C-alpha cells in the first residue's frame, strides 16, 4: 500500500464513529467464529467501517483475541473470522490479555521501508518476504469509542500494516514478488483444493 493510497482511502472523516449507513452485515454468534482460510472471498473484499460498539462486538473482539492466542498469531483482523468489519486485534507476544483492539483504523506510513518474512493465519504454511514501512502512526478508536493514536516502529508497525491490509482485502500474497508467489504455487494449490 502506498502512502497516497492509504491517505486517499482512509481519511479522518471516513473513520469517524458512527460512520455512513451501510447494509447491516450478518451478526453470527461470536462463539461460533473461527479462522477463515484463503481463498474464502471475505479475505479479498474491502471491509465496512464499524458503526456501533455493542455487546455483540465486544464478544467478537474477545473471541478474536482467543483465536489469535490459540493459533499463536500476533494479530487478527475481523475478515479473518468471516466478518467484513474494519477492526483488528494485535499483540506482539501473541497474548490475548495484552492485545490492543483498533476499530476503524487509519495508518500513516513512514517513507522508510524494510523487508521481513511474514506469515498469516489465513494462509497456513505460507511465508514470504514483504516490504513494509519501518514506522507508522496508527489511529482509530478503542472499545469505548474513544480516539486512539499510537506511533509504532519495527515489528508492531509491521503487524499493524499486515492487519490493516486485511481490512482492504489485501493479503501478503499480493505483497510478495511474483517469483515468490510462483515458488509457492504447490502450497497455494493445496489450500485451494482443501476448501
Judged by beta carbon, residue 78 or residue 120, the one nearer Zn ion is 120
Nearer to Zn ion, 10 or 162 (CB): 162
As measured in angstroms, the least distance from the Cβ of 120 to Zn ion is: 3
SS (H, E, C) the chain: CCHHHHHHHCCHHHHCCCCCCCCCCCCCCHHHCCCCCCCCHHHHCCCECCCCCCHHHHHHHHHHHHHHHHCCCCEEEHHHHCCCECEEEECCCCCHHHCEEEEEEEEEECCCEEEEEEECCCCCCCEEEEEEECEEEEEEECCCCCEEEEEEECHHHHHHHHHHHHHCCCCHHHHCCHHHHHHCHHHHHHHHHHC
Shortest Å, Cβ 9 to Zn ion: 18
Which of 46, 147 has the CB closer to Zn ion?
Answer: 46
- For binding to Zn ion (CB under 5 A), which residues are involved? 120
Closest-approach residue to Zn ion (CB): 120
Specify the residue, 103 or 120, whose C-beta has the smaller distance to Zn ion.
Answer: 120
**What residues act catalytically?**
163
CB of 162 to Zn ion, least distance (A): 6
Least Å distance between CB 1 and Zn ion? 14
Amino acid at each position: 500500500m502506498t502512502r497516497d493510497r492509504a491517505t486517499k482511502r482512509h481519511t479522518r472523516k471516513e473513520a469517524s464513529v458512527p460512520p455512513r449507513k451501510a447494509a447491516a452485515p450478518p451478526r453470527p454468534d461470536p462463539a461460533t467464529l473461527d479462522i477463515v482460510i484463503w481463498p474464502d472471498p471475505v479475505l479479498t473484499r474491502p471491509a465496512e467501517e464499524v458503526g456501533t460498539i455493542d455487546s455483540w462486538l465486544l464478544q467478537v473482539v474477545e473471541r478474536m483475541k482467543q483465536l489469535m492466542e490459540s493459533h499463536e498469531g500476533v494479530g487478527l483482523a475481523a475478515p479473518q473470522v468471516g466478518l467484513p468489519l474494519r477492526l483488528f486485534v494485535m499483540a506482539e507476544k501473541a497474548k490475548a490479555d495484552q492485545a490492543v483492539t483498533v476499530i476503524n483504523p487509519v495508518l500513516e506510513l513512514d517513507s522508510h521501508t524494510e523487508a521481513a518474512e511474514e506469515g498469516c493465519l489465513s494462509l497456513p504454511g505460507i511465508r514470504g518476504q514483504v516490504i513494509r514501512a519501518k514506522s507508522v502512526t496508527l489511529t482509530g478508536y478503542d472499545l469505548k469509542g474513544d480516539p486512539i493514536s499510537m506511533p509504532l516502529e519495527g515489528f508492531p508497525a509491521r503487524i499493524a500494516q499486515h492487519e490493516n491490509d486485511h481490512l482492504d482485502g489485501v493479503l501478503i500474497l499480493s505483497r510478495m514478488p511474483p517469483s515468490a508467489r510462483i515458488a509457492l504455487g504447490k502450497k497455494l494449490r493445496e489450500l485451494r483444493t482443501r476448501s
